Homo-oligomer: A and B are copies of this chain.
Amino acid sequence: MSVKKSNIKDISKVTGLSVSTISRVLNGKAKQYRISEKTQEIVFKVAEELDYVPNQVARNLKLGKTKTIALIVPSLSNPFFANMAAQVSIELQKTGYITLISDSNENEEIEREELTQIVSRNVDGILISPCGNYGDHIDRVRSLGIPLVCFDRYYANLEIPYVSTDNFWGASEGARYLVEHGHKRIACIQGSKQSVPNEVRRKGFEEVMKQKGISDFTVTGSEFTVQNGYTETLLLLQKLVKPTAIFSFSNTIALGCIKALKEFDLRIPEDISLLTFDNHPYLDYLSVPLTSIAQPVNDICKIAIKLLFSLINKEELSTNQVLLRPKIILRKSVNSIS
């Protein structure tokens, strides 16, 4: 059996009414066009009988609007982005929009392709957390006039609106927190170097190290993955003089740290302290509840959506580059040492 949906023409045939009348009734424009009650009833009844479902594709072609927002994230397997995707999807669906979610798999090539796909599908707007260091393809989309907002990851040098965490502040606070707890040998494990949040975090961290006169620190790592956290921690533990604290730049990295530390029978925080970016429900249930720098995920999503709709509705934006402060959630993974 093949797909054979009914259309307004079918309804027109059955009812003997014109397609325009059908269209008007079905779009709630009955009173605007003073269509009689009984006509309306008939239309609705027949539509029901025929299992009519409007063909949005045709509608979109005509109207040039799709009521679709595309969301592109680097990795849905990362709970941080999965959460965001869930929130955005639910939020948008309240406003009658549908969400096209793409996973770029941290691969800029894929991201480019998906973006092209998405543009050719006439989405009304795009929310993207880009995975590469060059934003030319994204800027091209924007300059095409398609509403687009970056979230979490962004390009500082381009005019693309974004909403993200104040990562400099967050990393600085984190670094200060460690130093104030007596840590003098601090190892920072970062994520992908080309991402702006990572870069900014690193700067915030290094700034504080300098301010506080701490020279015995390291910054290593290259990916926001468990594997990277694991590998880098193993390397750190090979050293003669081990760090007293590890500052992880993501929850995934932190998991890798925990795994490596466990294998070395090192306890958190007695043997080594651990502070990480990203909060997550799971963190409460880990062997040691992790002290973390919680990004305001909720607000980021809400504001990103708000900005996007402003663009869609062509409203003037006072600000379109927003950074929100994270907050440190104190748990039990950082020790005071003397």
Residues of chain A touching chain B, judged by Cβ–Cβ distance below 8 Å, are 1-5, 51, 53-58, 60-61, 64, 66, 75-77, 79, 82-83, 85-87, 89-90, 93, 98-103, 105, 110, 113-114, 116-122, 140, 144-146, 226, 255, 258-259, 262, 281-282, 284-288
Contacts and interface: CB of A to CB of B under 8 A. Distances in A.
Copy total for this chain: 2
Contact of A53 (B58, B100, B119): B119
B255 A285 contact: yes
A58 B1 CA distance: 25
A286 B286 contact: yes
A55 B117 CA distance: 10
Given A54-B120, A55-B122, A56-B117, 20 more contacts: A1-B145, A3-B145, A5-B119, A53-B116, A56-B120, A57-B57, A57-B66, A76-B82, A76-B83, A76-B85, A77-B82, A77-B86, A79-B79, A79-B82, A82-B85, A98-B102, A100-B101, A255-B281, A259-B285, A287-B287
Nearest to A251: B282
16 contacts: A3-B64, A3-B144, A53-B120, A55-B120, A57-B60, A76-B76, A76-B83, A76-B85, A79-B82, A85-B101, A90-B105, A93-B114, A98-B117, A98-B121, A100-B100, A255-B281
Contacts of A287: 285-288
A161 to B, nearest CB: 14
A144 B281 contact: no
Q: Which of A54, A64, A89 has the most CB of B within 10 A?
A: A89
Nearest to A67: B117
Contacts of A98: 100, 102, 114, 117-118, 121
Contacts of A58: 61
A151 to B, nearest CB: 16
Given A98-B114, A255-B282, A285-B255, A146 B3 contact: yes
A77 B57 CA distance: 30
A145 B287 CA distance: 50
A336 to B, nearest CB: 22
Contacts of A226: 281
Given A60-B57, A282-B255, A93 B110 contact: yes
B284 A285 contact: no
A6 to B, nearest CB: 10
A60 B57 CA distance: 7
Contact of A51 (B57, B82, B140): B140
